[in-house]
Amino acid sequence: MKRTLFFTFLLSVITIGGYSQFLSLGLKGGIGFSTPHTYDDGELRNVETKKRLENFNGGFMLDLKISERWYFHSEILFEDKGAKYIDHNDSIPEQHIYNVTNRQRIHNYYIDFPQTIRYLIPISKKDKVFLYIEAGGYFGYYLGSRRFVYKAYNGKELEKFTQNFYYDETSEQVITFHKFDWGVTGGIGCRFSVWKGQFDANLKYERMIQPWASYNSVKSFYDLIGLTIGYSLPVLNKVSHR
């Protein structure tokens, strides 16, 4: 099924490219803010210590012109989806230490493939500056995770360590983790001509549909708000076949 979806997507790109009169390639990078959302029987669990994690995302982007205002936009991105937790209630009674500040950051690394359709809205008379809206989906592959833990009391460090680990996809465990995920994405942005290419500033929202972890009726999903800038250059202005 996954191979069928991949080859269907590849065929679509080739077909669209064959009728396109414009293709550009570029690089992009920026910052994301991600957090997990856990549901139990459809009800959202509230975790007061949970905060959004600041993280890096970036990679390659491709634009295929479908018509004067419509574009097919494809990306290959490194995404960091995680969360941070700040808890002030931990204690170590045997050391007579109370109200410990516990800071923890969990980073989950993915390769994502967002695929969207963009609609451009010109805001300059010469059509050199555009606003756009986009919507579509993505699929991704999980690479691994990293945890940072820091504990302190009255500004004095008690414990600090970093741990690399990997969530396995297996039905034999009580909790099932998934290597592959997919979801929906959309956003707004601005693009304008700079030298021979296009500068692109983008604000997007991404939400998992496939849970990254599940246990009976409990399912957990990540969402991400991303702000990126990028630059692309044309590599094809016309094609020789229709």
Q: What is the percentage of the chain residues whose pLDDT exceeds 70?
A: 87
Please check whether residue 239 is in contact with residue 18, taking contact to mean a CB–CB distance below 8 angstroms.
yes
**What integer is the mean pLDDT of 133-147?**
97
Q: How confident is the model at residue 60 (pLDDT cuts 50, 70, 90)?
A: very high
Q: What is the CA radius of gyration of the chain?
A: 22
Q: pLDDT for 145-177, tens place per residue?
A: 999 999 898 778 889 999 999 998 776 668 899
- Residue 12 pLDDT: 52
Q: pLDDT for 107-131, tens place per residue?
A: 999 999 999 999 999 998 787 899 9
Q: Cα–Cα distance between 75 and 233 in angstroms, integer?
A: 15
Work out the widest C-alpha separation in the chain, in whole angstroms. 78
- How buried is 66 (Cβ within 10 angstroms: 0-12 exposed, 13-18 middle, 19+ buried)? middle
Please check whether residue 162 is in contact with residue 140, taking contact to mean a CB–CB distance below 8 angstroms.
no
Q: pLDDT for 171-223, tens place per residue?
A: 666 889 999 999 999 999 999 999 999 999 999 999 999 999 999 899 999 99
**What's the mean pLDDT when you consider all of the chain?**
88
Q: Which CATH number fits domain 2-236: 3.30.70.890, 1.20.1530.20, 2.40.160.20, 3.40.309.10?
A: 2.40.160.20
In 3-state terms, what secondary structure has residue 8?
helix
- CA angle in degrees (0–180, nearest 5) for 100-93-158: 40
Identify the CA nearest to 100 among candidates 147, 53, 54, 149.
149
- Residue 228 pLDDT: 98
Amino acid at 199: F
Cβ neighbours of residue 94 under 8 Å, at least 6 residues apart? none
Q: How confident is the model at residue 242 (pLDDT cuts 50, 70, 90)?
A: very low
Please check whether residue 72 is in contact with residue 64, taking contact to mean a CB–CB distance below 8 angstroms.
yes
Identify the CA nearest to 192 among candidates 183, 202, 182.
202
Question: What's the number of CA atoms in the CB half-sphere (13 Å) around residue 153?
Answer: 13
Please check the confidence at residue 49 and state whether its pLDDT lies above 60. yes
Please check whether residue 192 is in contact with residue 130, taking contact to mean a CB–CB distance below 8 angstroms.
yes
State the DSSP H helix or E strand holding residue 106, giving kind and residue range, or none if neither. strand 97-122
Identify the CA nearest to 108 among candidates 210, 157, 179.
179
Q: Which of 18-27, 29-38, 147-156 has the lowest mean pLDDT?
A: 18-27
